[in-house]
Amino acid sequence: MVNDIYNKEIVHSKLDKLKFGAKISALMSEKGFTDDTFSYASGISVAMIREIRYGRRLPSLEKYLWIIETLGVSDLLPLSDSLNIEYQNLAKNDRIVHEISILTEDMSPEQLDLFIEGVKTLKKALSNKNNGKGKYNEVALSRSKK
């Protein structure tokens, strides 16, 4: 559904690719990104970034979400309110999956099990902090270091 709305409102609209690319370029410069550093930070290939920046292509919804998150902006395009809510939730989930897949791509099954246990321990420690229990749970964090 979200992708359908994005395609209707953005990809198939009369959105000016050159203006969009210029906006991306300006924000990248403002934030100190080169094509290479932005590629690394966003997970989008350098070639695709250049295609977007030079106004040759518009990003897919997934890449658009990665771009706005990497640039630290809430929106770059005139999206409807319903799509804004949907894509914010999607951006968070897609980014998490993307980052975890990069971190775990070369892990053995045993290393992956340890990674998952470490994430669970960290989540529990952070949950304890957020529940008003003061600093991070030192016991939980010390277990994750073993």
pLDDT confidence of residue 31: 92
Token pair, residue 88, equals 């914010």
Cβ neighbour number for residue 8 with a 10 Å cutoff = 12
Mean confidence (pLDDT) of the chain: 75
Return all residues near 83 (Cβ < 8 A) that are at least 6 apart. 2, 5, 6, 9
pLDDT confidence of residue 33: 95
21 burial type by CB count under 10 A (0-12 exposed, 13-18 middle, 19+ buried): buried
- Residue at 104: amino acid letter: T
- pLDDT 10s digits, 113-136: 998 899 889 888 888 766 655 454
Return all residues near 130 (Cβ < 8 A) that are at least 6 apart. none
Separation CA 51–CA 5 (nearest Å): 23
Query: What mean pLDDT is predicted for residues 2-30?
Result: 71
Superfamily of chain region 2-101: lambda repressor-like DNA-binding domains (1.10.260.40)
Separation CA 50–CA 86 (nearest Å): 27
- pLDDT 10s digits, 23-54: 889 989 999 999 999 999 999 999 999 998 99
